[in-house]
Amino acid sequence: MPAFGTSWLDAHPSPPLDVHAASAILVEADQREVLWARTPDARRAPASLAKLVTVLVAMQLASSLDQVVTVPAAVNQLEGDATRMGLQPGEQVSVRDLMYGIFLVSANDAAETLAQAFVPRSRFIQLMNREAETLGMRDSHFSNPTGLDDPDLYSTAYDLAIAAGAILTDYPQLVTIAGTRQYTIPATSTHPAFYLANLNELIGTYPGATGLKTGFTDDAGYCLAATATRAGRTLIAIVLGSDTHLNQDASTLLDYGFGIPAGSVPSYWLPAVHLLTQ
């Protein structure tokens, strides 16, 4: 069974919005209905939107957000231009701090730490692909926890909307983290202070914006998973392969969705999804 319904889309074909992205989708999260789409099933490099699945797996493996884990030596092997929060091998940080690093500054060192904190890295990547399969992400495959370009790493706007929806439904505490404009992780005896400013420019500027995740690589272009809530309605906009108009693309999609009268979008019923990662 598909993750999202298309009754609205079938009756209201996507108008020609001024969206620069190569691929995009807009979903009403609670109703699980697609409101607008452009090549939503095209496989593309997802950049750091792959971290949506990284955090889903990590949340199931961690005992809590307060669990403390050790930064592995592998963080020093990241590419020189990889985005980081500044972790050093041997430091001990909480899962919560790593989530702030991932959602605010797209920290690859945080993603690699989560991928090696609970199980071997190879097993973690297996669990990412198992999680994607369980959620119904049928056109996705993950080969690393960061989203750095790799021929064997791909996803679609549709699939990434599924992952974003899972976070909204199952982990509201992560949505709170993703919607934070700035955050300081205080220094402890096991790590220095970290000062993080959210790369998602919609936070604090777009009315109702709640998150969720930015991304960019040479292969992927500019990418964004944008979420927003107004008057009890929550929308998910996934934008892949955009340019410097990324935030305008997301805003245009969200504006279109919120312009649809409340209550006019049908609800798409789905049985509960049981996440299996062990």
51, 140, 155, 213: the catalytic one is 51
106 annotated active-site: yes
23, 94, 106, 251: the catalytic one is 106
For residue 202, list its beta bridge partners. Answer: none
Instruction: Give the separation between CA 253 and CA 89, rounded to whole angstroms.
Output: 41
7, 14, 23, 48: the catalytic one is 48
- Antiparallel, parallel or unpaired: β 182-185 and 92-94: unpaired
Q: Provide the token pair at 113.
A: 């730490």
213 annotated active-site: no
The number of residues in the chain equals 278
Q: Provide the token pair at 260.
A: 């649809």
Tally of helices (H runs) and strands (E runs) in the chain: 8, 9
Whether the Cβ atoms of residue 248 and residue 28 lie closer than 8 Å to each other:
no
> Cis (ω within 30 of 0) for the bond into 61?
no
Eight-class DSSP state of 179: T
Closest CA to 75 of 93, 56, 62: 93
Q: Provide the token pair at 6.
A: 């298309």
Q: Mind telling me the catalytic residues? A: 48, 51, 106
